[in-house]
């Protein structure tokens, strides 16, 4: 009996703990990433993204569609997340960095970002095909099919190799 309630208590604590850490991180918006990710020498990820269809995904919605939860949940990162966690991210950013890389409040400091392991521990996501399939699926009224390799090429924003590498 006691063992059972102890185990249940542990399980609840475990759930609660995970829930809290997942909840800690906030969505800071692409402007924060721009500070460090816009130099041509390190790949200008911000510029590449801002010229991509993802950054303009709200522009293709017309009139009331821009407020329709059925559309914006895929067309704007800000619409698909807990509103309490919005800390800079706006609707007009469309599909922003944090849709794919996770909410940035925990990992965006230089000392954390420089250390991949630390950054991942603080919420950074290295996206895979699965990340894309959250939105690129047949629930989209304009679904055109999805080939990860081809689609990834169109949005690629690599860090170029440093000299001598």
Site residues for ligand HEC per CB under 6 A: 28, 30, 32-33, 35-37, 45-46, 49, 53-54, 56-57, 60-61, 65, 68, 70-71, 73-75, 77, 95, 97-101, 104, 108, 110, 113-114, 116, 126-127, 131-132, 134-137, 139-144, 151-152, 154-155, 157-159
CA distance to 33, 116, 165, per residue, from 162 (Å): 20, 17, 6
Chain centre to alpha carbon of residue 79: 12
* Residue 100 φ/ψ, nearest 5 degrees: -100, -35
- Give the nearer residue to ligand HEC in terms of CB position, either 6 or 21: 21
Smallest separation (angstroms) from ligand HEC to the CB of 24: 15
The tokens describing 112, both together, are: 């954390």
- Give the nearer residue to ligand HEC in terms of CB position, either 85 or 97: 97
- Give the nearer residue to ligand HEC in terms of CB position, either 17 or 160: 160
- Give the nearer residue to ligand HEC in terms of CB position, either 14 or 53: 53
Smallest separation (angstroms) from ligand HEC to the CB of 19: 22
The tokens describing 154, both together, are: 């169109």
To the nearest 10°, the Cα dihedral for 102, 107, 108, 110?
Answer: -150
Between CA 72 and CA 95 the distance in angstroms is 10
Smallest separation (angstroms) from ligand HEC to the CB of 5: 42
């Amino acid at each position: 009996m006691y063992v059972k309630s102890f185990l249940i208590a542990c399980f609840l604590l475990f759930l609660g703990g995970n829930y809290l850490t997942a909840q800690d991180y906030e969505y800071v918006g692409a402007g924060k990433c721009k500070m460090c990710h816009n130099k041509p020498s390190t790949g200008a990820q911000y510029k590449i993204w801002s010229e991509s269809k993802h950054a303009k995904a709200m522009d293709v919605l017309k009139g009331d569609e821009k407020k329709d939860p059925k559309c914006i949940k895929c067309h704007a990162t800000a619409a698909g997340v807990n509103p309490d966690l919005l800390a800079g991210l706006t609707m007009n950013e469309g599909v922003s960095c944090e849709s794919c890389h996770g909410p940035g409040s925990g990992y965006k400091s230089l000392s954390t970002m420089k250390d991949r392991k630390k950054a991942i521990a603080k919420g950074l996501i290295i996206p895979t095909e699965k990340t894309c399939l959250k939105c690129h699926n047949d629930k989209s009224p304009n679904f055109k099919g999805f080939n990860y390799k081809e689609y990834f090429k169109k949005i690629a924003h690599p860090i170029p190799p440093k000299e001598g590498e």
